[in-house]
Structure 1
Amino acid sequence: MLATGVLSMLLLGDGLAINLLLAAIPAALAAYFAGRAAERRVGAWSLVWAVGCLGLLVVPALRDADWPSFLAVVSAVALGSLALNGGRTWAAVLLSPIGVFNALVPGPVWGWRGLRERFGGARRGVGVGLRALVAASVLLLVFGALFAGADAAFASLLADLMPDASVTGGPWHLVLLASGLVGALAVAHTAAAPTRWDRMAVPAGRPRNRVEWALPLVLLVVLFAAFNAVQLAVLFGGYDAVLEKTGQTYAEYARQGFWQLLLVTVLTLLVVVFALRWAPRDGAGDRNLVRGVLGTLCALALVVVASAVRRMDMYVEAYGLTRLRVSVVAGELWLGLVIVLIMAAGVWGARWLPRAVAASAAAGVLAFGLMSPDGLIAERNVQRYEDTGKFDLDYARTLSTDAVPALDELEEPMRSCALRVIAGHVREDRPWYATSLGQARAADILRDRPLSPAADGAECGGLAVRLTTR
């Protein structure tokens, strides 16, 4: 726990990259030893959640863009909490992330009591530990300074490895130390005394009559089938006839429908949830009715998902890829996966469904971060420029350094105009542990191929106007 606090103080003050994972590893070890001391067994799912948590913390080390890193860190906290608390029900999966935050106050109190018990409650024992730490620090400092003075290569190695611990950032370092220590104590306390969310009783809904339950859903299935009949015609090449009938352009047709279909997907999941809560449960006939109606509804909802994704693809072809567009498509695809899991649960039972949905969400966030969204956006838009001559230069400037490899393929002066703002975000003064792979690659590219000084503000502004009016 102390190692977590010290690493947080020394490494996290310059930004987030591999340092976040380095600070989290000792906290994970603290949780393991605290759980083992409390005679908790490490289950297979707890191990899966723990590995997923640490895997998600790799994303900030790879990507410079803040938004996929933020999603990855939030998801890592949720998975870590699920690993500590355990559970297989919906209540456990949805409420476990609260467990660690509930231990932020009891954790330090528990840690202090444990420290006093470990030293027998005597101040002398605490003094012995402190004196040992001071002696070790003095020895390392003296001999490290002598070795550094004796060999310039060793001195350079120490300078590269040692974090900045200057007194100018003293208050901020203390905040990071306290945050890391309190967080590690909360994690260890949760591992030793988890909240048993599985014990929370959720009352079952009152089953409805077959007609009362099935009639609205059957009519909804008919509506879905009629809509999907039109969508299948469109998906198989009936765009010209549809656009001629509606009087819309290619892009207007795509933009108008995507958001409605995304909302349809979300509402369909809510309908399935409430339908299962109020479903008739008198016998095998009722179970077959529920499976048939909801299975058909889910299958038709998958066609809606495919139609929504296709519409967004049409819109991207017309206007290019953006962060919002790639995010909502990823969300729509995940909702489609959830529908598939619900259909599978209707066949093989739903006991595994809550954890499968949580695992799919974490895997989706991890894949989203690893694929480098900003790099994908830049690559797709550069390809669109080569095909159509259209390019949103102003939007390209808002991307992170992850987009530099793709934007580097542009011709001059567009390359320099697109990279000039992004190049200002490349910081070569950051230490290794706070530099992402995206930042390092961008620095290498810009060092090997400097920006053209001829591409000034006036020329870039005129270029952006010409590209917009094409």
Structure 2
Amino acid sequence: MYGAHPAYQTWAPPRKPAPSRLRPPAPAHPTAATLWAVLATALFAALLLSDGAGTNLLLVAVPATVAGAFAARAAGRRLRPWTLVWAIGGAALLAVPALSDAGWPAFLAIVAAIGLTGFALHGGRGWPSMLLGPVGLFDSVGTGMMWGWRGARQRAGGSQGRWGPVLRTVLIAAGLLVVFGALFAGADAAFADLIGSLVPDVSLDQAPWRLLCFLIGLFGALAVARTAAAPLRWDKMAFKPGPARGRLEWALPLIVLNLLFAAFNAIQLTVLFGGYDKVLSETGLTYAEYARQGFWQLLTATLLTLAVIGLALRWAPRAGAGDRRLVRAVLGTLCVLTLVVVASALRRMDLYVDAYGLTRLRISVTTMEIWLGVAILLIMAAGIWGARLLPRALAASAAGFVLVFGLIQPDAVIAAQNVERHERLGKIDVHYLEGLSADAVPALDRLPEPLRSCALRDIADRLRDDEDESWYATSLAEARARDILAEHAVTPPVSCGRPSREEQYDPDADPDLDTYDPYDPYAP
């Protein structure tokens, strides 16, 4: 809460200082160490990124991080604990593509890693820094190019006599490696295979793509170094609190909303934990339809509640201790009731998954709903102990959920749940499972034939097409899947008998006996 009262810090950071310059003075020219680290990043990107995402992302991030560290040190910036936290979190997120084959959690992890990089480079602890930090990183792309160019020109003009020996040394070393490497490769086939797997393909047909990767690495590393040297000061932004409302005007709508939440939750506690038969008989819905019907509405209600809390804090009364107690009581009650809504939504999704099976959409929105519950708990903690760390806590929790989501390999969880459901109920949608990534192979390998071969045939074909990928673009899950498929070969039947969509879904049939879900855009 923003407020004039010095002790009133409930649910909000302290009042912002007077506005000042967001953009600091231009930093000095980059050092030689910074420029070499930038060049190394560009070369690593050109050689490693053209084959896909894997361990290569971490390899490219290392020299880019070194470039930022050199630039920050030259500018006199100190390493702070939260900077180290964001940097370690970003590196952990970039490990997800190296471990998992699925592209969608890897994409989320890469986006989150970019966000944490922005936090680490800019610093700050308030809402502006958490919301705009990643934007500032992209703001440095243009200025970083000019900054790097001026630094390169200055270094070249002052060290012309030293470039010749360095260039000759590099060329001699490269020539020796090429000549003797080619001789040894021709003398031993095993050594040739080792060299072929370790050395990137530098054929001319990939030159345009490698040039693009080189430029991305170059501009990205320059942006990182430029931001580390002179970050935007987002926390210098000042926000005026909204005009305080009277107690009755502010509290009455929220109290009415709390009563509505309480009535809904009372019914949910009765229905979700023992009163299904009566509700289903009165509504005419089946068990699965009832579970499916309300989840999306409850998810939307949770999101809207967070918006209501934010707006309520902006216009909350702030005259004294009585107002502070009123805000805590009303918004605290709303948060507690919202947690019951979150639990109800998760319970409905559990019933829904039990009836139809787990899919990518369902596990994604379930994870999001769980994080919303954690966010509400953090807001409640801020209402009790102060909101100084709330922006950082919310950002760290979101990044942590993305990291855990990638590390658990959701495709593997989906496959394991559906295989267990088949063992228990005898129902499974093989045609959905065959579209999963290699993460799902260990679980799908437990299916009996011919279901196993039907579920694995497309995955096996994709792995066979990608078997020439370099080691740095191959995930651990892909390597494990290839080992499993080599030990137990896929022997697909003549036909897996995929039914049409109309045959999969009969609107007049019992949804409990239907594996196709028309409300799931990921369904086949």
Task: Provide TM-score, normalisation by structure 1.
Answer: 0.95
1:246 to 283, 302, 317: 283
Segments of structure 1 that go 5 or more residues without pairing to the other structure are none
1:456 to 490, 494, 499: 494
Cα offset, 1:124, TM superposition: 4.8
User: For residue 162 of structure 1, what is the aligned residue in structure 2?
Assistant: 199
The one-letter amino acid of 2:491's match is S
**Mapped partners of 2:468, 2:190: distance in 1:** 20
Contact 1:63–1:438, Cα closer than 8 Å, also in 2: yes
Contact 2:356–2:514, Cα closer than 8 Å, also in 1: no
**Mapped partners of 1:136, 1:182: distance in 2:** 28
Structure with the bigger percentage of helix: 1
Deviates more, 1:352-361 or 1:424-433: 424-433
**Mapped partners of 1:153, 1:389: distance in 2:** 48
Deviates more, 1:276-285 or 1:140-149: 140-149
Contact 1:31–1:187, Cα closer than 8 Å, also in 2: yes
- For 1:295-310, list aligned pairs within 5 A: 295-310=332-347
User: For residue 188 of structure 1, what is the aligned residue in structure 2?
Assistant: 225
Relative distance call for 1:230 and 1:191 in structure 2 (3 A) is same
Task: Provide TM-score, normalisation by structure 2.
Answer: 0.86
The one-letter amino acid of 1:187's match is V
Contact 2:114–2:134, Cα closer than 8 Å, also in 1: yes
The one-letter amino acid of 1:363's match is G
Contact 1:3–1:26, Cα closer than 8 Å, also in 2: yes
Deviates more, 1:290-299 or 1:438-447: 438-447
User: For residue 446 of structure 1, what is the aligned residue in structure 2?
Assistant: 485
The one-letter amino acid of 1:299's match is V
- For 1:142-221, list aligned pairs within 5 A: 142-148=179-185, 154-221=191-258
| Match status 1:232 vs 2:278 | no
The one-letter amino acid of 2:174's match is S
| Match status 1:45 vs 2:82 | yes
Contact 1:116–1:122, Cα closer than 8 Å, also in 2: no
Deviates more, 1:263-272 or 1:177-186: 177-186
1:94 to 131, 144, 147: 131
Q: Percent identity?
A: 60
**Mapped partners of 1:306, 1:350: distance in 2:** 25
State the number of aligned residues.
Answer: 468
- Cα deviation, 1:136-168, whole Å, max 9, x if unaligned, reads 322333344455556665444333321111222
- Indicate the SS of the match to 1:461: coil
Relative distance call for 1:97 and 1:397 in structure 2 (3 A) is same
**Mapped partners of 2:354, 2:219: distance in 1:** 49
2:111 to 74, 99, 124: 74
User: For residue 432 of structure 1, what is the aligned residue in structure 2?
Assistant: 471
The one-letter amino acid of 2:446's match is E
The one-letter amino acid of 2:324's match is R
- Indicate the SS of the match to 1:419: helix
**Mapped partners of 1:398, 1:335: distance in 2:** 29
User: For residue 437 of structure 2, what is the aligned residue in structure 1?
Assistant: 400
- For 1:100-139, list aligned pairs within 5 A: 100-121=137-158, 123-126=160-163, 129-139=166-176
Segments of structure 2 that go 5 or more residues without pairing to the other structure are 1-37, 506-512, 516-524
- Cα deviation, 1:35-77, whole Å, max 9, x if unaligned, reads 1111101110111000000100000011111110000000000
- Indicate the SS of the match to 1:202: coil
**Mapped partners of 2:321, 2:417: distance in 1:** 52
- Indicate the SS of the match to 1:324: helix
Relative distance call for 1:156 and 1:425 in structure 2 (3 A) is closer
- Indicate the SS of the match to 2:141: coil
Deviates more, 1:110-119 or 1:162-171: 110-119
| Match status 1:269 vs 2:306 | yes
| Match status 1:35 vs 2:78 | no
Relative distance call for 1:360 and 1:469 in structure 2 (3 A) is closer
**Mapped partners of 1:107, 1:133: distance in 2:** 27
Cα offset, 1:119, TM superposition: 3.8
The one-letter amino acid of 1:333's match is I
Contact 2:265–2:337, Cα closer than 8 Å, also in 1: yes
